[in-house]
Structure formats: C-alpha cells, structure tokens
Structure 1
Amino acid sequence: MRLLSRLFAIGIAVSGICFAASAKPIKVTIVKKGDGYTLLRGGKPYFIKGAGGSSYLDKLVECGGNSIRTWNSNIGALNLKEAYQRGLTVTMGLSVGIERHGFNYDDTAAVHAQLETLRKEVRKYRDSSALLIWDIGNELNLNYKNPKVWDAVNGIAKMIHEEDPNHPATTSLAGVNPKVVAEIIARCPDLDLLAVQVYGGLAKVPQQIREAKWTKAYIVTEWGPTGHWEGPQTPWKASVEETSTEKAAVYKSRYEASIKVDKNCLGSYVFLWGQKQERTPTWYGLFTENGETSEVVDVMQYLWTGSYPKNRAPHLDSLLLENKRGTNSVYLQAGKAYQAEAFVHDPENDKLTARWELLPESTDLKTGGDHESRPEPIAGLIGDANTEHAIIKAPEKEGAYRLFLYVMDGHNHVATANIPFYVKP
C-alpha cells in the first residue's frame, strides 16, 4: 500500500511537471482576410486538421492531424498534457446543462451556479499552450424549447473573455438550422465563431451558413459518415450502414466540397477518432474495438497531408446475404441456412483474414450521441467462413438481427461491413 501511494504521488508530481511545462498560453485570434477568415495561433495561420476524441493520438500525428476536440473538461489536464507532448492543440469542451437531460434555463440560480463552475474550469486550464478554443456545450439546440439557453451561452462566452483574453469561444450546434442561428446572432454577440456538426449534409454547409446569415467564421466540430437518421431504413426501422469503403468515399468528397474550400471555415474535427457503440459498433468510429484503422483513416491522411499511407486498409465493395444488400430488406426463415458473400481486396495484396459476427439489432437507442450499450453476440450460427463467404443459420427467435464482417490485413488495418436482416418464424 505504501509503495502504491508513493508511486501515485510520484505520478502526480511528474504529471504536474509535464503540465507546468505547457503553462504558457499562446494567443489565438480570428482575423478577416480578404473575403474570408483566418485563425492565427501565435500570430501564424493555423488551419484545424482535427479529430474528435483523445485516443490514438500518436496515430493522429502520423496522419497529419494537429488538434483534438473534447466534449467536456473532466480530464482536461490529461488531455492538454497528452496533446502538448505531441504538438497538438485542444478545443476544450465545457459541460453545459442540456434541456433534454432536465436542465431548466428558467432557474436563474442553477444558471448562475453553472457559470461559476465553468469559471473555475476556465481558470484551471486557460494558461496551457495546447489550448486552442473553448467550446461551450454540445448540441444544446437538439430537442430544445427554451431560448434562454443562448442567454446562458452568451454569459459563459462573456465570462471566458473576462478570464482568458487568449482564446476564442464557440458553441457546437447540431446541424445548421436558420432559426437557431438567428437566435444565436440575436442573443450571443460574445461568441467569436460558430461550430456546427453535420454528417450526410456536410457538402451543403457553406451555402447553409450563408443562407442563415452567419457572417463570422465557423468550424465543423463533428462530421463523418451518413448518419443513421439520414440514410435508408428497412421496413422494421433498422438503419442501413455504409461499408468502410463507402464511408471513405463520402468522407473525401464531402470534405473537399466544403471544409477544404470555404474561406469562412477555419477547419474541422472528424468524428470519431476512436470507437463507440452508436446504432452499431462500427458506424461512427474510425477504429475498431481492437484498435484497427479503417479505410477512412487512410483518406484522412490524404486530406491532411496530400498523400496516402504506404500500406492501406482493405477495400470492401459490398456484403450480400442471399444475393441481397441491406437496402433490399432481407428476410430469413428461422433455423434455415443462408449464404453471405463479401467482395473485398487489398491494395498491396496482403494476406487477409476475416471475423464474422452475428448480433441482435440494438434496442438501446439514444439521441445526440448519448451512451448506448453494445448487443451481445450470438454464437454458433456462423460456419464455413472465410474472407469471401460464410454460411449463416438464421436464429430461431423471430426478430431483427445484423450480420457483421471484419476483414484484417495483418497490418492493423480493417475493412468493415454489416447487413441487417429480419427473421420470420
């Protein structure tokens, strides 16, 4: 116990030294340049090539990324230290009460208490040289009704300017809703820039920003594949997910049509530099649960550096079940055997291996990225499996299921696909 206590104390001391070494704020400003805006960090132009999350930071640097985005400051010191050690910056999230979670913006005492809590957070982290931007709340406009939330946001932005003259303040919105943007223009004059979070509609964001009459700079704090609420659904309301190869194509095209070319955009944070369960275990993460990278990571390296990695992830064109895609509404009969086929190849002809997994369709469905639990896999129903095909026995119980395929190349790269199906008795 004494040894553990001493090691813990040493750890705190070392952490404190590392963090103290970064305690020299670098001034960040936004300046008008021609017909657009430029973010300056230490007087030098700084375009954000960022990722959401704090995992796999060495890989982020290797791929040409320069910044991370967090959703709260719970482990702010650790995030700032880890970022500083790698030459990364941080857009630091500040946790703000959400109406759909029960926060009441008519409660002036609660609003004031929140402001003072966040004041302590700003004072704690304002001097880090890794700090880039303060992000006030996350998707506060999602399912909200009380416009006083924006008065609170402006109060927090004003407080940030009082406490920290070196870093701008923003708030991240779900989508680009003209009515919401109008509320923010009217109620939040102290915001320095806007942050938006858009998936399937990313290519339209520059036009939407202009139509919403937002004239300041903006960033995109979340973007990624086609959202589960945007794409095709089966008759039993299961969202159809893109393959990792299809995702790579849309990440590239949407980024090049918006973030890369809009002079009012100061950069972005791709979602998610890690893994999470949201509708499926593979929908939004650029990594698997085992830490393997998908073809999307290859694309991000190209977008950030202009070149692809020497060894690239496998390319998965499609996954079929009984010669049908997920968009074809696949129905199976309980207990019967069916064939699944995958069309996959590797750019370097690396030897491929496959893992097939059968899951019940997720029923723990949330909104706004709230935590979801992963369904337990069903064992014993997949046979004669390799990278190109497998025999699937339909479960005996009626209901919605999903077949997953992971194809690995032996170099920590993976291709992913899944297909939803419904079992009839």
Structure 2
Amino acid sequence: MSVNLRFLLPLLALSTTAYAQSGPVKVEVKQTDGRYELLRGGQPYFIKGAGGGQFPERVKAYGGNSIRTWSTEGADVTLAEANKNGLTVMLGLDVARERHGFDYNNPQAVAEQLQKVRAEVLKYKDNPAVLFWGIGNELNLEYTNPKVWDAVQQIAQMIHEVDPNHPTSTVLAGLNQKEVDLIKAKCPAVDILSINTYAGLAAIPQQVRTTGWTGPYVVAEWGPTGHWESPVTPWKASVEETSSQKAAVYQSRYEASVAKDKTQCLGTYVFLWGQKQERTPTWYGIFTEDGKESEVVDVMQYLWSGQWPENRAPHLAGFRLNGQQATDSVYLQPGKRYPAIVSVTDPDKDRLTYRWELLPESTDLKSGGDQESRPAPIAGLIPANAKAKIKLKAPDKEGAYRLFIYTYDGHDNVATANIPFYVKGK
C-alpha cells in the first residue's frame, strides 16, 4: 500500500528529546551465530515501527522507535519531527511502478529515474534519523517485467557507493517464491527484504524460510485483515472488522510471528499510524480522521512497551442492523425504518457518546493503497442526538451503502464499526 504524506505530516512543533548528533548515525546489519541484528551507532536496534508520519510524539510515548515513509515527499518535516522525538525513519524512495505505466524496457527512463533517486539519497543520507532506505513499494504488484529488479539493483548499488552508513531494502506485496528467487539472483546489493502483509502476518516467518530467503527481513506493513482477504457481500462490498476485532488480530498475529522469529526478523512497521480513505475511512487507519485512538493503539502500546495505557479505548462487542450482522448480507427496502444497535463497554466506566454516519458504498476503488476519495455522507436519515440504538431510515435510491458507528469515551479514544447494506425494492 501507499500513503499520501501530504495528509499525514504532523503539524505541531514538538519539544521532546532530540538526537544530539548532527551527522549520520552508522546503521548496519550484523550476523552472529546465524542470527541477524540491526545495529545503530553500534547498539542493537529492533524496529518497533509505525507506518506513516502522523503523531510522531505518540509513537515515542507509546514505546515505538521508528516511522516509515513511502517516498521523500515532505521528508524534511518528517525527519525533523523524528529527530525531535528520538525516532528513526525507514525512508522510502519512490520507484515507478509498471501498473502506473512505467516501462522498464526503456533504458532512458530507467536511467533518469536512477538519477532522480540518487539526488534524493544525496539530500538526506546524512540526516541522523535515517535508519535504512526503502527502494520502491510493492513493485511486484500487477507487474510482468522482471527488469524492475535490475533497476532496484542499480539503485541499491548506487546507494552503497554514495552512502556507506545505511542499508538498502525493497518492499514486496506479500511473499512468494518467484520474487524471492528474482531478488536473490538480481539484487545482491539489497541488504534487507521488506514485506507488506496483512492477514498472513503469522505465516511470514515460515514463508521466509520456505521460499529460501536466508537474509534479514522487516515487515514494512502489517495490520487488519485486508479488504481483498475479507468476506464479500453479493454486491461485492468487503466486510470490515470492527475496531475491537482488529485489536484482537493485531495482537495475536504479532505475537505469533514477530515475537517468535529471533533469527531473521529485524522488526516491523504497523499500518497505518494515521488515517486514510481506502475502501472505507476506518479500514486501515488506527486513528480516526479527528485523531481519536482505537483499541488497536492500546494493543500497540502493549506490544511495544509491555504496558497497557492507563485509560483504555471502548470495546465494541456487537453491531446489528435490522437484527443482522455485517456478514449477513443486509438488504433493506427504500424509505423504510430499521433498528440499528451497537453494544459497547468501556474498561474505565467512562461515559460514552455516539456518532452515526451513513455513506454510499465507495466507488473510487484503487489498488496498492493508491489515493481514493471519501464518499460524501448522506444527511437526514439518522435521528439527531442518537445513542446506542437508532431507527435508520433506508435511502430511497436503490444501491449499496454503509452505516458507521463511532463510540467515544471522552478521553480521545474511540470504537468503530460499519455494516454494508443494499437498498432494493420488492
């Protein structure tokens, strides 16, 4: 996936502990007795990372130590905020994708791209926050031309020539034998294999070994069950997990994978430390659009620091529309009223408030995390000042919709869920 950093760059000037060093910090991969380890400034450095540049102060406060970007767009601000917060950055280098029309059979275009990336590396290589370079993101997604890996090798070689202080990596969508074989054969200058995975996180340590990757790896994106991995309604709407279901799978998959691989895994970057529209406004962001924290953020604080936060997010136990769950393929008739009820508890007994929203099903659907537009909410069909139970008036127009619920605890925490439904006349 990718993220447009214009929407994720932190805006606050933060006054926390900054790196004292003004020049580059040496980062290297060491292998000892068959175990790989990342060393930063000579000290072991296991990545407890967040994908996205938003809320760097919260990454630090909750026990994280690194953030990931997908390009150098906004990198001056991102690196400055990382330095202020004592964080490092997996700095992305945007390499063109075949699915966006780039032709890796065009030597001039490939050479021009190499020079563009070289300029980016030269600009940022001496910043103390840089941890390692991410050469491209999901270049294997919807591609046919293996020459892309020749271009990745050229970029990795160039980086080693101009920057002796930081390792190189390239980021795959998932992990399969074909790409591992190609990268092993064509990209010896790539030091670390980075992998984006979602429902398959727990299987990654075994997949790494099965495919024959014997070097170090980083999980560069991991998170909820992806929309392509989820149940689908008859009208092709993917069913999203609730924030509480996500919290459970984030914890279980992390503990089953990263925590158990002590030999090749150098750490991970959780997705998404921020918010974005992708299928829905809540699917991948572990914060809401107004910066409220879901139960997943509690889980990340526990996984990073070993401590749960003092005030926990609300827990959503159930959500039904006309007595049906999101996986039940809910059909409603135009203009009729239907009951919707959400069951939420708060671990701290905080007073809960509720916000309901009705959206048409998104039609601006992209692949690979490309930027999507948010559907405009539909007004007038949800009662004002709604609580945990409402009567929804179904839209008059036939089509696909989603009903969203946001439940707040008054301490900047939130529980979220949505139910896709289809309005169809008799």
Which residues in structure 2 correspond to 1:184-199 (within 5 Å)? 184-199=183-198
- Whichever residue aligns with residue 312 of structure 1, its letter is R
Cα distance in structure 1, aligned partners of 2:385 and 2:283 = 23
Q: CA-atom RMSD, angstroms? A: 1.5
The residue that corresponds to 2:3 in the other structure is none
SS for the counterpart of 1:259 is: helix
* Counterpart contact for 1:22–1:128, Cα < 8 Å: no
Which residues in structure 2 correspond to 1:357-368 (within 5 Å)? 357-368=357-368
**Aligned pair in 2 of structure 1 residues 97, 193: CA closer, same or farther (>3 Å)?**
same
- Whichever residue aligns with residue 256 of structure 1, its letter is E
| CA shift for structure 1 position 384 | 6.6
The residue that corresponds to 1:42 in the other structure is 41
Which residues in structure 2 correspond to 1:338-417 (within 5 Å)? 338-383=338-383, 386-417=386-417
| CA shift for structure 1 position 259 | 1.2
Cα distance in structure 2, aligned partners of 1:35 and 1:400 = 53
Which residues in structure 2 correspond to 1:44-193 (within 5 Å)? 44-193=43-192
| CA shift for structure 1 position 306 | 0.4
SS for the counterpart of 1:229 is: helix
* Counterpart contact for 2:18–2:85, Cα < 8 Å: no
* Counterpart contact for 2:171–2:196, Cα < 8 Å: yes
- Whichever residue aligns with residue 291 of structure 1, its letter is G
| CA shift for structure 1 position 74 | 1.8
Structure 1 stretch displaced more, 35-44 or 382-391: 382-391
* Counterpart contact for 2:219–2:269, Cα < 8 Å: yes
- Whichever residue aligns with residue 424 of structure 2, its letter is K
Residues 10-30 of structure 1 deviation map (CA, whole Å, 9 limit, x = unaligned): xxxx9xxx9997531111111
The residue that corresponds to 1:319 in the other structure is 319
| CA shift for structure 1 position 139 | 0.3
Residues 175-217 of structure 1 deviation map (CA, whole Å, 9 limit, x = unaligned): 0011111111111011001000000010000111111100000
* Counterpart contact for 1:356–1:385, Cα < 8 Å: no
Identity of aligned residues (%): 62
- Whichever residue aligns with residue 269 of structure 2, its letter is Y
* Counterpart contact for 1:384–1:391, Cα < 8 Å: no
Cα distance in structure 2, aligned partners of 1:172 and 1:112 = 21
| CA shift for structure 1 position 81 | 1.0
- Whichever residue aligns with residue 404 of structure 2, its letter is F
SS for the counterpart of 1:109 is: helix
Cα distance in structure 2, aligned partners of 1:58 and 1:412 = 15
Which residues in structure 2 correspond to 1:197-346 (within 5 Å)? 197-263=196-262, 264-346=264-346
- Whichever residue aligns with residue 225 of structure 1, its letter is P
Structure 1 stretch displaced more, 35-44 or 190-199: 35-44
Cα distance in structure 2, aligned partners of 1:117 and 1:57 = 28
SS for the counterpart of 1:248 is: helix
| CA shift for structure 1 position 387 | 3.9
Residues 299-344 of structure 1 deviation map (CA, whole Å, 9 limit, x = unaligned): 0000000010000100001210111111110000001000001110
Residues 352-411 of structure 1 deviation map (CA, whole Å, 9 limit, x = unaligned): 000000000000000000000000000010127644211100000000000000000000
Cα distance in structure 2, aligned partners of 1:383 and 1:35 = 62
- Whichever residue aligns with residue 362 of structure 1, its letter is S
The residue that corresponds to 1:9 in the other structure is none
SS for the counterpart of 1:260 is: helix
* Counterpart contact for 1:99–1:140, Cα < 8 Å: yes
SS for the counterpart of 1:158 is: helix
- Whichever residue aligns with residue 150 of structure 1, its letter is W
The residue that corresponds to 1:3 in the other structure is none
* Counterpart contact for 1:154–1:189, Cα < 8 Å: yes
Residues 90-130 of structure 1 deviation map (CA, whole Å, 9 limit, x = unaligned): 00000101101111000001111111111111111111111
* Counterpart contact for 2:174–2:196, Cα < 8 Å: yes
* Counterpart contact for 1:387–1:407, Cα < 8 Å: no
* Counterpart contact for 1:22–1:84, Cα < 8 Å: no
**Aligned pair in 2 of structure 1 residues 20, 347: CA closer, same or farther (>3 Å)?**
closer
Residues 217-275 of structure 1 deviation map (CA, whole Å, 9 limit, x = unaligned): 00001000000000101010000000000000000000001112112100010000000
Cα distance in structure 2, aligned partners of 1:333 and 1:254 = 39
SS for the counterpart of 1:179 is: helix
SS for the counterpart of 1:374 is: coil
* Counterpart contact for 1:22–1:130, Cα < 8 Å: no
SS for the counterpart of 1:258 is: helix
The alignment of Structure 1 onto Structure 2 pairs a total of residues equal to: 409
Cα distance in structure 2, aligned partners of 1:66 and 1:347 = 28
Could you tell me which runs of 5 or more consecutive residues in structure 1 were left unpaired when the two chains were aligned.
1-13
- Whichever residue aligns with residue 405 of structure 2, its letter is L
Cα distance in structure 1, aligned partners of 2:308 and 2:362 = 35
Cα distance in structure 2, aligned partners of 1:148 and 1:157 = 14
The residue that corresponds to 1:6 in the other structure is none
Cα distance in structure 2, aligned partners of 1:100 and 1:135 = 19
Cα distance in structure 2, aligned partners of 1:97 and 1:240 = 31
The residue that corresponds to 1:4 in the other structure is none
* Counterpart contact for 1:385–1:391, Cα < 8 Å: no
Cα distance in structure 1, aligned partners of 2:122 and 2:254 = 35
- Whichever residue aligns with residue 309 of structure 2, its letter is P
| CA shift for structure 1 position 35 | 3.4
Cα distance in structure 2, aligned partners of 1:171 and 1:54 = 19
